[in-house]
Amino acid sequence: MRRRVVITGLGVFSSIGTGAAEFAAALRAGVSGRAPLTAFDTTGYAHSYGCPVRSFDPARWLRRVRPSELGRAAAMSASAARMATDDAGLIAADLRAVRCHVCVGTTEGGAFELDQLTSSWLEDGPERMDPALARRVPAQSLSVAVARELDLTDAEISTIGTACSAGNYAIGDGFDAIATGEAEFALCGGADAIARKTFTIFYRLGLIAPDHCRPFDSGRQGILTGEGAGIVLLESLDSALARGARVYAELLGYGLNCDAYHPTAPNREGIARCMELAMRDAGVKPEEIDLIAAHGTGTRVNDITEAQAIRDVYGSRVPPVVGLKSMLGHAMGAASALGVIACALAITGRFIPPTINHRQTDPECAIDCVPNAAVDADLRVVQNNGFAFAGNNSVVLLGRS
Amino acid sequence: MDITAWSAVSPYGLDRSCFADGIRSGRAAMVWADPAGPASARACLVPGFDQREALGRKGTKGMDRLTGFAVHAVAKAGAHRGPDTAVVLGTTTGSVKSVADFTRASMTGERPFDVDPVRIPSVVMNTPAGHSAIWHGITGPNATIASGRASGLLGLSYARRLLRTGRARRVLCGAAEEYSTARSWLSHGALLGEGAAVLRLEAEGARGALATVLGLGFGLDSVPAVARSALRQAGIVAEDVWAVVPGTRAERDELAGMFGACVLDRVSPVDELIGDTGAVSAVFQIAAALVVSVNQPASRVALVTTADPMGTTAAAVLVLHGTGEP
């Protein structure tokens, strides 16, 4: 018998707000996180907007780990885990008393730091590269930083590197760890920092929007690279009830699969099958689902493929499908974790966050993307999509607890 | 959870039997000094591996060495097409060489986006796992565990959850790592190794099982603590352990209070023979335990440990069935 799993703590750093309350307010208001990128020298790119996290100060959040020891993504990851623990009304000693599971998803790990090392190699030769900077590169630093910040020594601590669906992957893994009884608390989600490398990949592929990210819009021109961290604290429903915790939402189940089709392009059948796997795992039917938080990158190929797959699964009764990346940009490994958090806040706050920057829905997509303004809604079951290069699909289902 | 097959592409050669011969003889793999690396840069390379030769010319354009290792090792562990099989592969930082080359091109090219689009998959960490799935038509869960040296044992735990929850019926679980000058600069001249190893995992009671994973332990900074935790989960006392396979000499020293020298030295120290293989190290250690167990009485118990420089520690307790090819 698997245990029911609930979300009782949220940690958020995003381009539109820090912390659950600010993030929820921004989602409801349809705030744009867009700003000119300053994380690297953007000279020579015709356009360079992105969705950075502004005024992130790890010293405000971290109590045990020194911010100077961490790369930017690891600092956001550890800060978000500290925030999620506080938000759940727990202290580190509560976590230390039982078995914990830490799992952080990422696309890039310490790519921001690797960019700097490459630059230093070019300027001064490889022997002058800063060893302290080199230590911040490996992706495992994102999950280890969480464990060190909360002093969790009896914990499974892993980083999942399944690119842009890594947040959903990590939250799914935390779900299984709690559901099977392997752990009592799980801190999981995703984190990534804006890096030259990531931006250049999407720029070279012609997938960076010159002005705004407009998922499902006829005039969409691509993504804006973003960054952030989203960490949720998971525990069993029984544990939450026993300690009188506030429950944001229940995790109902998830699906994982691989298109095994193309290194960068999504695949309609693979995505449809992943949604069906998630529904089967959660024991829900399409007609019970009230909202889909789409992967919705704002590229031509993603949005059409995703909309087609949704119609394949939902038939004529498609619920609203929103593109949160219109507000948040594409926060890479953090994207689907921020998506799960947005879904939990939408359930709790009884609203559907909008798809902003919207002018005209692409008839090839033909979905209700809740353009530009949030609407009030009584949401019982919500689906969060996350897809990635290499066809690494992951879909998470949440419900009102 | 049972191990029913394994593969190894290692500095000993391209297949399992080369690895088995090397480990049994305790012979160190050939060491190459990289003139472009730091002063002391030395590496044990996989001899004679060319991804286009090993896999054919079709579909290998732009494929990096790392992904070549992964695709090859997944094939040798018994790739099954379809949705019932999962792929779980470990890494440290993906292909450091590809990332460094890519970023350098962006920084030095006439325009910052003058980068080779064919190389783009190589700069994303999930490519070895994803490409293995594409190559072999494996449509089950596809995960990349980016946890450095601990990836191998963290992968076992991830795989065990996939099997327990019915998300997969078999898991091809391992890791891949490539040598490059760029990686050696980030590793400050340590003896580095490369290659890939993959275990085929199925629910306990599988036909032809070579070993059964009885317990896994995870933590931070202490190897004895995770060893005890894995033994507790396995229901095994330290006295019943036949072989300890530590990842490094430092781990061996940490465990010296728990186990006698003959148990600690039963299996040759893999990292000293083939170099630091990063994410693959613990998978090679398990493979080494399997090699040494062949033709031994059934039910020998092995303890495999790992410690990542960043602090994560892990241990696995396996009961070895003494089966498999000699």
What tens digit of pLDDT does each residue of A181-230 get? 999 999 999 999 999 999 999 999 999 999 999 999 999 999 999 999 99
Among residues A188, A295, A343, A369, the one annotated as catalytic is A295
Average pLDDT (B118-125) is 92
Instruction: Let me know if A213 is a catalytic residue.
Output: no
Residue A164 annotated in active site: yes
The whole-angstrom separation of Cα A186 and Cα A169 is: 13
The active-site residue, picked from A188, A330, A343, A365, is A330
Query: What average pLDDT does range A317-322 have in this prediction?
Result: 98
Structural element, H or E, at residue B129: helix B127-136
Is the pLDDT score of A299 beyond 80? yes
Query: Has domain B211-320 been given CATH number 3.40.50.300?
Result: no
- Of A164, A213, A343, A369, the active-site residue reads A164
Q: What is the pLDDT of residues B128-148, one digit of tens each?
A: 999 999 999 999 999 999 999
Instruction: Tell me the per-residue pLDDT of B84-117, one tens digit each, with 9 for 90 and over.
Output: 999 999 999 999 999 999 999 999 999 999 999 9
Decide the pairing of beta strands A100-105 and A185-192.
parallel
A233 contacts A187 by C-beta, under 8 angstroms = yes
Beta strand B85-90 with B170-177 is: parallel
| Pair (A16, A164) in one structural domain | yes
Give the pLDDT score at B326. Answer: 65
Q: Give the number of beta-carbon pairs within 8 Å between A and B.
A: 235
Average model confidence (pLDDT) across chain A: 97
Same domain, residue pair A230 and A302: no
Domain ranges of chain B: 2-202, 211-320
Q: How far is CA A52 from CA A323, A327, B173, B239, in A?
A: 18, 11, 36, 55
Model pTM above 0.95: yes
Q: Which of A189, A223, A242 is the last residue of a domain?
A: A242
Hey, what are A131's tokens?
């060893």
A315 in reach of chain B (CB within 8 A): no
Number of separate domains in chain A:
2
Q: Is A350 exposed, middle or buried (0-12, 13-18, 19+ CB in 10 A)?
A: exposed
- Shortest Cα distance, chain B CAs vs residue A372, angstroms: 33
Query: Which amino acid type is present at position A310?
Result: I
Contact A111 B161 (CB under 8 A): no
Return d(Cα A68, Cα B304) in angstroms, integer.
34
In angstroms, rounded to a whole number, what is the distance separating the alpha carbons of residues A236 and B26?
49
Residue A233 sits in the same domain as residue A331: no
User: Which of A242, A273, A304 is where one domain is finished?
Assistant: A242
The answer on A258 and A236 residing in a single domain is no
Q: Which residues contact A157 (CB under 8 A, 6 or more apart)?
A: A102, A140, A143, A144, A146, A147, B147, B150, B154, B218, B219, B220, B312
Please report, for residues A338, B51, B119, B271, the alpha-carbon distance to residue B65 in angstroms, rounded to integers and kept in the order given.
34, 6, 12, 21
Only one residue has tokens 């407009």, namely A214
Tell me whether residues B142 and A256 touch, CB distance under 8 A: yes
Under the banding of pLDDT at 50, 70 and 90, the label for residue B58 is confident
Pairing label, strands A291-293, A321-322: parallel
Question: In this structure, are residues A218 and A360 in contact, taking their beta carbons and an 8 Å threshold?
Answer: yes
Q: Do B218 and A155 touch (CB under 8 A)?
A: yes
For the segment B229-256, the average pLDDT, to the nearest whole number, is: 97
Q: Which two tokens stand for residue A18?
A: 């820090």
Torsion angle (degrees, nearest 10) of CA A178, B125, B155, A143: -50
Q: Quick one: closest CA in A to B152, which residue?
A: A158
Contact status of A21 with chain B (Cβ, < 8 Å): no
Range of the domain at A263: 251-399
Shared domain for A83 and A175, answered yes or no, is: yes
For the segment B20-46, the average pLDDT, to the nearest whole number, is 94
Longest dimension (CA), chain B: 65
> What residues form DSSP beta bridges with A156?
A101
Q: How far is CA A22 from CA A28, A81, A181, A378, B317, in A?
A: 10, 17, 33, 21, 46
Whether residue A287 sits in one domain with residue A222:
no
Which CATH entry fits the domain spanning B2-202: 3.40.47.10, 3.50.30.30, 3.40.50.300, 3.40.50.620? 3.40.47.10
- Residue B124 to residue A107, Cβ atoms within 8 A: yes
pLDDT tier at B306 (50, 70, 90 boundaries)?
very high
Residues written for chain A: 401
Among A191, A220, A242, identify where a domain stops. A242
Extended beta strands in B75-185, E state: 85-90, 142-145, 170-177
pLDDT grade, residue B62 (50/70/90)? confident
Contacts of A174 in chain B (CB under 8 A): none
pLDDT, residue B101, reads 94
Contacts of B74 in chain A (CB under 8 A): none
CA atoms within 13 A on the CB side of B319: 19
The continuous run of DSSP H or E covering A11 comes out as strand A5-14
Q: Is residue A238 located within the same domain as residue A255?
A: no
Domain shared by A256 and A296, yes or no = yes
Mean pLDDT of A246-260: 98
pLDDT at B259 over 90: yes
Q: Which residues of B touch A144 (CB under 8 A)?
A: 220, 310-312
Q: Quick one: A188 and A298 in the same domain? A: no
Q: Which residues of B touch A126 (CB under 8 A)?
A: 38, 185
Domain co-membership, A143 together with A58? yes
Taking Cα atoms as reference points, which of B89, B308, B93, B160 lies closest to residue A173? B160
Among the partner-chain residues A119, A122, A390, the one whose CB lies closest to the CB of B131 is A390
Q: How far apart are CA A7 and CA A172, in angstroms?
A: 12
Query: Are A80 and A49 part of one and the same domain?
Result: yes
Angle at B177 between CA B173 and CA B178, to 5 degrees: 150
* CATH code (residue A126): 3.40.47.10
CA separation for the pair A336, A163 (Å, rounded): 10
Which residue of chain B comes nearest to A390, CA vs CA?
B130
**B166/chain A closest Cα distance in angstroms:** 10
